[in-house]
Structure 1
Amino acid sequence: MAEEVRIKNTGLRGVAVADTKISFIDGEKGILLYRGFRIEDLAQKSSFVETAYLLLNGSLPDEKQLAEFSAELVKARRLPDFINESYKRWPAQADPMDVLQASVPLLAMADEELEDESREANVRKAIRLIARIPALVAAWHRIRNGLEPVAPDDKLSHAENFLWQLLGHKPAPEFARELDICLLLHADHTFNASTFACREVVSTRAHMYAGVAAGVGALSGSLHGGANARVVKMIQDIAGERDLAGWIRNRIDQGERIMGMGHAVYKTTDPRAVILKQTSEKLGKKAGNESWFKLLTQIEALAVKEFEARGKPTIKPNVDFYSGSVYHMLNIPNDLMTPMFAIARITGWCSHIIEEKFAEAQGKPALYRPKAEYVGDYCGPVGCEYRPPEARK
């Protein structure tokens, strides 16, 4: 047997695999940029739709461009009829992420521009996906609960329309605005696992929907999506806990995670978490339910103090720590919180897919083909000798 070889860069951590103009992270300083714009400025002054235009096209739209882009998104909201009819035959207990991943190829089947790989056609496909991923999540949620899907309302904003189609009643504008900010904050985050999955798949010259389906699959894994739902479960499990500091110490002593704390890239507070903390507080006050926000701030303060005492001062809240409470206050079920991630990240996925598809023109190889370090058996310089079953011991 060959001597064991340790691969230094397990998981490609710290390995640059491609160039991008879409987003940038400075993990030491807690900075996130979309196309050069600070996430804090966009969250305060922009909207999810305007930010989607920015990520897809490389610049902020003027008034006419924004109106046209918004109109295209509204026009694309309606799902093909066969999807809703198909959903009625699917098992009601199916995981929403499995449903979403299975639904993306259904959208591909209905796209007349599927084989058109021009940049213009890919942008139009991206618009349809951004508009329809929320519709898929909302339709499945209603159908699994024995309800009919709700038709989109063309007068509502992107966030308002999703809540309308999901819950069946028009949301208060201020609640929809807070959801809009959440979607904006989750829209992109450089080469995370799901984004890399999208880019790797389309590097084979597969179409956009194939890449997006891969992204949904990657996001469904417990090490990527779903952390916000686990934060909600953590809050529910410790409600009424009298010794929070002791609970936190015990978790850390046992090697368990404090959900929503720490990040693979940020060595300080995730800038998105700062904004979502404010959002959680505002929604709690508007909803007349500040208990979750107060509990989260207590956990944050105690956990940061405990980590600092253990020589781990870089473990701070990430984007998931407060986002789960925001979605909970918007009446979004726990098992839809990872699909909510996809509703936002579809914008970044499509932007990266388009960038990947046209990177070859700038000299990038057409296909990702990383090298693996073989650490298995050799049985000699020419390989192992095959022996029939009766000769094996």
Structure 2
Amino acid sequence: MSEETRLKNTGLRGVTVADSAISFIDGEKGVLIYRGYRIEDLADRSSFMETAFLLLFGTLPSNEQLAGFTQEVKDNRTVPDFIIESMQQWPKDARPMDVLQATVPMLAMADSQSDVLDRDLCLKKSIALIAKLPTLVAAWHRIRHDQPVLAPDPELDHAGNFLWMLHGEKPTEATARDLDVCLILHADHTFNASTFAAREVVSTRASLYSGVAAGLGALSGSLHGGANAKVMEMLLKLENEADVEGWVKKQLSDGDRIMGMGHAIYKTGDPRAAYLKKMGQRLGEETGGKWASISKRIEETALAIFAKRGKTTILPNVDFNSAPVYYLMGIPTDLMTPIFAISRVSGWCAHIIEEQFADAQGKPALYRPQAQYVGEYCGLMGCEYSPMDSRK
């Protein structure tokens, strides 16, 4: 098999593996839809709590349903003491994504029904995970800086409470709303790498916790959720660069990548990126931050070079624009991917439930793809096994 053919057979690109009613992307038109609703409408008019309800239950909630859902999330924000006590013994330089992934199985240990496959029970577990992940991320940030872990504030909404537990200061209403919108924009994205990982794991009838832990593992990679941290590292590197345009030109002429540019699906623009770009520009003007300006110079220079090369579909993605937004909120670079997870857990749980209960009996179809073998082959009898002392 040629190298070209081998590469075409990797990554499951373009391969449909399952039906889903949760979200839809039209990459050619730059459209993202959750359960039939465009992401722009949700970002402008909804809240993360309402969006999470939509993803889990399939419909927009009534006032009464939203109030009940929001209260249930607030009631589940606290995590078991043994988890916090354990985290306090962990190396202070541990990566936050590793910490977050490690805590999810601990939540399973605290759940005597962690492996029970019942739809209503899985919905309750999903709500608990949506509630607890922000607490865990904030707790780890304070533990590693030798600061006391703060209790959730029941008076604050989901995004505002996270910022309170993280910084120890109650955020402004505008900042809390900005983060809430970010959570809406990141909540789901069809069969991305982490969602597929979660669905594949629970297709074995593994627990919802196992699926979420798998999603976290996939999200931690620099080609997926970890890309936003890489974008911010790039921006920080260019903080005092006098010739940003020259840096971009050299980067591309050397065959290197510009982090946050390009997407596997969107060919005419990522609708989430467009929304975050405007937010970043506004926050930059309000705070005097330079990141929006640097981002704009990188984007304009890179797009001009791509256009000359005929690569007009390489455009900024959600990571390119979310990184400066988070940074301007005072969120450390290595917490940007965990915040992605705080949002995406709502989508993962929706997909896990869809996968586990696709049939009326709640019997998921085991994912078992085939591989094209390209290794050594000596016929059906196999290669001849030679003694150790006769091998070259």
TM-score range, shorter chain: over 0.9
- What secondary structure is seen at the aligned counterpart in 1 of 2:16? coil
Partner in structure 2 of residue 224 of structure 1: 224
Which letter does structure 2 place at the counterpart of 1:383? G
Deviation at 1:291, TM superposition (A): 1.8
Partner residue, 1:379? 378
SS of equivalent residue, structure 2 residue 11: helix
Aligned CA-pair RMSD: 1.6
Q: Is the 8 A contact 1:234 1:259 kept in 2?
A: yes
The residue type equivalent to 2:90 in the other structure is W
What CA distance in whole angstroms lies between the structure 2 residues aligned with 1:381 and 1:81? 57
User: Paired residue for 1:85?
Assistant: 85
What SS does the corresponding residue of 2:199 show, helix, strand or coil?
Answer: helix
Equivalent residue, structure 2, for 1:244:
244
User: What SS class does the counterpart of residue 33 from structure 2 fall into?
Assistant: strand
Q: Give the drift of 1:301.
A: 1.7
Distance 2:193 2:56 in 1: 20
Q: Which whole-Å CA distance do the structure 1 matches of 2:303 and 2:46 have between them?
A: 31
Deviations 1:170-221 (A, max 9, x none): 0001000000000110000010111000000000000000011111111111
How far is 1:148 from its partner? 1.2
Structure 2 residue aligned with 1:354: 353
Tell me the secondary structure at the aligned position of residue 25 of structure 2. Answer: strand
The CA deviation at 1:392 is 3.0
Cα distance, 1:360 vs structure 2: 3.7
Deviation at 1:228, TM superposition (A): 1.4
Which residue of structure 2 lines up, in the alignment, with residue 206 of structure 1?
A: 206
Aligned counterpart, 1:197: 197
Maintained 8 Å contact 2:356/2:364: no
Q: Which residue of 2 aligns with 1:26?
A: 26
Q: Which runs of 4+ in 1 moved over 4 A?
A: 2-5, 362-365
Alignment correspondent of 2:53: 53
Give how far 1:363 is off. 10
State the partner residue of 1:319: 318
Could you tell me which residue of structure 1 aligns to residue 273 of structure 2?
Answer: 273
Is the contact between residue 244 and residue 294 of structure 2 (CA under 8 Å) also seen in structure 1?
Answer: no
Partner of 2:43: 43
Calculate the TM-score normalised by the size of structure 1.
Answer: 0.96
One-letter amino acid matched to 1:128: A
1:145 aligned onto 2:133: no
Alignment of 1:327-338 (within 5 A): 327-338=326-337
Q: Counterpart of 1:185 in 2: which secondary structure?
A: helix
Q: Structure 1: state its 5+ residue gaps.
A: none
Q: CA deviation at 1:283?
A: 1.9
Q: What is the TM-score normalised by the length of structure 2?
A: 0.96
Residue 276 of structure 1, CA deviation: 0.3
Q: Report SS of the residue matched to 1:16.
A: coil
How high is the sequence identity, in percent, across the aligned residues? Answer: 61
What is the CA deviation profile of residues 139-179 of structure 1, one whole-angstrom value per residue up to 9, with x for unaligned ones? 01101111110000101000000000011110001000000
Distance 1:362 1:270 in 2: 38
CA distance in 2, matches of 1:6, 1:77: 47
- 1:361 to partner: Cα distance: 3.7
Instruction: Report the residue type matching 2:237 in the other structure.
Output: D
Cα distance, 1:239 vs structure 2: 2.2
- For the pair 1:309 / 2:308, whether they are aligned, the reply is yes
Q: Give CA-to-partner distance per residue, 1:85-132, whole Å, 9 cap, x none.
A: 111111111111111111100011112331331110000000000000
Give the secondary-structure state (helix, strand or coil) at the position aligned to 1:24.
strand
- Taking the aligned partners of 1:363 and 1:114, their CA distance within structure 2 comes to 16
TM-fit CA distance, 1:289: 1.5
Count of residues paired in the alignment: 391
Mapped partners of 1:350, 1:232: distance in 2: 28
CA–CA distance in 1 between the matches of 2:306 and 2:131? 41
- For 2:237 and 2:126, the matched residues in 1 are separated by 39
- Conserved 8 A contact 1:175-1:283: no
